[in-house]
Structure 1
Amino acid sequence: MATQTAAQRREEARLAYNAYLAGCPSRKLLDTLSDKWVSLVLAALADGPCRYSELARTVAGVSQKMLTQTLRTMERDGLVSRTITPSVPVRVDYRLTSLGEDLVPLMQAIKSWAEIHMDEVEAARQAYDSSAASGDA
């Protein structure tokens, strides 16, 4: 087996994981990462470990079922780890793994972009809706 350079390994991975292809596993990962609850939970855990109840308070509007499902998905993908401390009641803490921590700057940039540009997006939506309503679209 020949030794590969880092550039060769990156190129091989790029060819193996092309998200434009329907069957590519990276497309499923992009689906997960683009979920609003995943991005909000990731941002909430960026400051450090949290208990389930803390996450539920921080991520306003998420149902118990959706938060549980989101955390399980993130744990399965290696983004979050779950630690159970036997006590009464049982304490469960969630924290980002190193893989999840690598993702934080990207997700925080997207969150910041959305917050900064929301007025412009709302104006574009209103202009589009007005145009569509008048039959210009």
Structure 2
Amino acid sequence: MCVAAGSAIERAFKLLGKRWIGIVMASLMGGPVHFADLRRTVPGISERMLSDRLTELQAAGLVVREVHSGPPLRVAYRLTDAGCALRPALDELRDWAETHLPAGNETCDDSGCG
């Protein structure tokens, strides 16, 4: 039997299910990060994609952009209270992945949970 996900979970995954969003959020959990450092923390993401994802997270109220006058001028990003509230969920996802998605194992079992 298929169970409806509900609009709240749909809204959550519409944003959080986008490529790079979870990794960016996890990278910001340690505190404010400058753009260049964040770019190095998320291997494989382009500057443009990182900028786009950060803009989306700002629009969702999960991230704040802070400009630090220099010299040199630097931009840092930090999580809002709403963004920090995702820590338990991200921790649970990490723990689940360590148990059920071991590194190098790319197979999936579609047998269902019940």
TM over 0.5: yes
Distance 2:43 2:81 in 1: 26
1:97 aligned to 2:97? no
TM-score (norm 1): 0.66
Q: Determine the structure 1 residue equivalent to 2:53.
A: 70
Say what the alpha-carbon RMSD is for the aligned residues: 2.5
TM-score (norm 2): 0.78
For each residue in 1:39-85, what CA deviation from the matched residue of structure 2 results, as whole angstroms up to 9, or x when unmatched? 11111111111000111111111111111011000000000001101
Q: Which amino acid aligns with 2:72?
A: P
Give structure 2 stretches of 5+ with no counterpart: 1-5
SS of equivalent residue, structure 1 residue 55: helix
Distance 2:106 2:51 in 1: 35
Q: 2:92 aligns with which of 109, 125, 133?
A: 109
Q: 1:40 aligns with which of 5, 23, 28?
A: 23
Percent identity over paired residues? 32
Distance 1:52 1:123 in 2: 31
1:58 aligned to 2:41? yes
Distance 2:96 2:9 in 1: 24
Distance 2:13 2:45 in 1: 21
Give structure 1 stretches of 5+ with no counterpart: 1-17, 20-24, 129-137
Distance 2:24 2:103 in 1: 25
Change over 3 Å in CA distance of 1:51–1:120 after alignment to 2: closer
SS of equivalent residue, structure 2 residue 78: strand
SS of equivalent residue, structure 1 residue 61: coil
Greater RCO (Cα-Cα under 8 Å, separation 6 or more): 2
Q: How many residues align?
A: 105
What's the offset of the Cα at 1:109?
1.4
